[in-house]
Structure 1
Amino acid sequence: MGEKRRAAPRFIDRGTVVEAALGVLSAKGFHGASTREIAKAAGTSLSNLYNYFGSKSEILEFVLEDTGRTLADSLEEAVLAAGDSPLARLEAAVRAYVDFIIARPQASVVGITEFRYLEGQNRAEVVAQRDRTETVFRDAIADGHDVGVCDVRDIGSATRGVVTLCNSMSTWYRPDGRLSPTELADMQVDLVFGLVRADGRPEAAGSPEAAGRDHSSAQRRA
């Protein structure tokens, strides 16, 4: 009887690895999770997973870099569409951040709790994506300060405070909570505008004030 032929490794797509690792890491943490568990969640063998990643640390870096890039891309796109107004850009960035957390709450949780385990180049790649996100907020706050619509003592501290506020939503957000996604975004925008002492805050979506504003804008465009 001939030797049993070993099955060829099955290709693992990027999204499958990211979601499988996020699920395991968010439940057990970096030290509690095993590569075997991640492979099982991804629907593949441990040996096949090692065809792509040399260690659990490499998987963590891959996941955090991927999700960090996705977040930064979404914020940059939202701000670009918002126009030149610093406060419109700040609001757009906050709403995009909320959308990201609602869509992928585990990504932010793992980013908060497991980032400390990255070292060297693996850490640098993730930091580069985080810097992109911070830059979006820093630029909007700095421009708002320059034109007098934000009142902050230190732009760097204000920026870190805003990013921390946005990211912390992942620690308490629940899909079955009482607030709708729009209401969550309204609340976060209000908190951020308060933190930077913005000159006026946007009305909550769906409020009579917002409805009147939207109606007036529609009339002007007609």
Structure 2
Amino acid sequence: MPGPTEPVHAVTSSAVHPTDDPAAAELITAAVRTMAEKGYHGTSVRDIAGAAGVAVGSLYNYFGSKHGLLAVILNRGMDGLVETTESALLNAGTDPAERLRAIVGVHVRRHAESPLESLLGNSELRSLEPSAREVIVTKRDVQQRMFERVIADGVDRGSFHTTNPRETARFIITACTAVATWFRPDGPLTADEITTRYQAVALDAAGFRGPRS
């Protein structure tokens, strides 16, 4: 078993922040991997600490509990997604097609590059206590509404011709999220190629009839 100074992770989780203490970063990365493999309830504090190469007490010192650690991971995942989506919209201008391309690009890439974090976000939300779960659901609603507004605006401006804008937005965001379940970096398509294809699919779903580039 790795000793307290022998972390086993080569790739740091996207839930880690640059300002995190190294031990906290190791715990987050270890928790993402072990919970993705065993599930939240099948993973013990000792499992996480052992995989991180730190003492069991470190988890309590940094996060208070296993539940607190899960909440940090899920909150950071949603915060990062919402922030990058907002930034993409800010930089996309006013054209509805460009705005849709921008947010689809962010969503696809985020889930392609952080599949384990995405898995936890979708499968372990139920493991949070009600108050903590409500926070995550609220952030998901914020993300969903950005897609809904982009589609609705495109319909209002005559760029999109879907007759079901809200359902179209849900369809697109669900499809983008699902990329995490099957995308592999060593697969036949790169993340950039997948992103481009999903942007085209999203425009089709929205009923876009203009030029594609």
TM range (shorter): 0.7 to 0.9
User: Following TM superposition, by how much is the alpha carbon of 1:155 offset from its aligned partner in structure 2, in angstroms?
Assistant: 2.9
3-state SS in 2 of match to 1:51: helix
Indicate how the Cα distance of structure 1 residues 92 and 55 shifts in structure 2: closer, same or farther if over 3 A, else same: same
User: Following TM superposition, by how much is the alpha carbon of 1:74 offset from its aligned partner in structure 2, in angstroms?
Assistant: 1.0
Count of aligned residue pairs for this structure pair = 193
User: Does the 8 A contact of 2:161 with 2:208 survive in 1?
Assistant: yes
Cα RMSD of the aligned pairs, angstroms, is 1.9
The alignment-based identity, stated in percent, is: 34
Indicate how the Cα distance of structure 1 residues 163 and 101 shifts in structure 2: closer, same or farther if over 3 A, else same: same
In structure 2, what is the equivalent of residue 196 of structure 1? Answer: 206
1:97 paired with 2:107, answer yes
User: Does the 8 A contact of 2:112 with 2:179 survive in 1?
Assistant: no
User: Does the 8 A contact of 1:165 with 1:192 survive in 2?
Assistant: no
Structure having the higher Rg:
1
Aligned equivalent of 2:37, options 27, 45, 63: 27
**Which AA in structure 2 matches 1:70?**
G
User: Does the 8 A contact of 1:58 with 1:122 survive in 2?
Assistant: no
Q: Distance in 1 between matches of 2:167 and 2:32?
A: 30
The C-alpha deviation readout for 1:133-190, integer Å capped at 9, x for no partner, is 2122111111111112122333332222111011000011111110122211111112
Q: Distance in 2 between matches of 1:32 and 1:201?
A: 50
User: Following TM superposition, by how much is the alpha carbon of 1:13 offset from its aligned partner in structure 2, in angstroms?
Assistant: 5.7
Q: Distance in 2 between matches of 1:109 and 1:119?
A: 18
Q: Equivalences for 1:29-178 in 2 at 5 Å?
A: 29-178=39-188
User: Does the 8 A contact of 2:81 with 2:107 survive in 1?
Assistant: yes
Question: Could you state the TM-score of these two structures normalised by the residue count of structure 1?
Answer: 0.79
Q: Distance in 2 between matches of 1:25 and 1:172?
A: 18
Q: Where does the alignment leave 5 or more consecutive residues of structure 2 unmatched? A: 1-20
The C-alpha deviation readout for 1:101-125, integer Å capped at 9, x for no partner, is 2321211111121112223211122
Q: Where does the alignment leave 5 or more consecutive residues of structure 1 unmatched? A: 1-10, 204-222
Question: Could you state the TM-score of these two structures normalised by the residue count of structure 2?
Answer: 0.82
Indicate how the Cα distance of structure 1 residues 201 and 61 shifts in structure 2: closer, same or farther if over 3 A, else same: farther
